[in-house]
Amino acid sequence: MGMQEEGKKKEAQWFHERERKIIDEMKAKREERIRAQKHEELKELHWLCCPKCGHSMKEKELGGIKVDVCTLCEGIYFDRGELEDLLLVHGSESRAGFFRRLFGLNT
């Protein structure tokens, strides 16, 4: 095999490897877009649905924080940090009264 043929073979191999790399990158980007799209579809499907019973939920103002309340089972769900915010807002003296109101135990 001559030097020229060897060079052509190496060149063809380089182009083949380069094309394979480009195709793999495009495939990975497409798969990531599909994963992101599926994630958004699932998020939309389950948005404001109760994790316990699957019924719809509504936002309710509670001590200055909006929480999610199930319209069927009346479960109360906090987003990350909301419970801590509520506990910080209400001092330890008023927490008992706050939780009584939260659970509808006002007397």
Is 11 part of any domain? Answer: yes
Answer yes or no: do 17 and 42 share one domain. Answer: yes
Is 23 part of any domain? Answer: yes
Is 52 part of any domain? Answer: no
pLDDT in tens, the chain (107 residues): 678 888 899 999 999 999 999 999 999 999 999 999 999 998 888 888 998 998 999 998 877 788 899 999 989 888 888 887 877 776 655 666 766 766 666 65
Answer yes or no: do 43 and 61 share one domain. Answer: no
Answer yes or no: do 8 and 42 share one domain. Answer: yes
What is the value of pTM for the model shown?
0.50
Beta bridge partners of 49: 56
Answer yes or no: do 35 and 64 share one domain. Answer: no
**Per-residue CA distances from 12 to 4, 15, 18, 22, 50 (Å):** 12, 5, 10, 15, 58
Print the domain residue range for 31: 1-47
Q: Choose among 95, 97, 104: nearest CA to 60.
A: 104
Is 107 part of any domain? Answer: no
Domain count, the chain: 2
Full strand arrangement of the beta sheet holding 65-70:
57-62, 65-70, 76-77
